[in-house]
Amino acid sequence: MTVACGTRRMSDAFALCPKCKQPMRLVRVVPALAGHPELQSFKCRACGEVTTRPVEDVERPR
């Protein structure tokens, strides 16, 4: 059984819950505005924690 598990870039699309350290699910994306980076909101399915972070480290198209 072949599983593509070499997706280390998932760290760009997911976050860990600050409370329970579980992977958080991307629930919302705020498009980038002038002078502001794109925002991604994540929600923890385990405890309901929601966090929003700017997307700055993702690969940029060249």
Q: Which stretch, 3-11, 31-39, 43-51, 54-62, contacts Zn ion (CB under 5 A)? A: 43-51
50 binds Zn ion (CB under 5 A): no
Q: Which is nearer to Zn ion, 16 or 55 (by Cβ)?
A: 16
- Provide the mask over 3-42, with x wherever binding to Zn ion is found by CB under 5 A and - wherever it is not: --------------x-xx----------------------
Alpha carbon distance, N-terminus to C-terminus of the chain:
35
Q: Are 18 and 49 in contact (CB under 8 A)?
A: yes
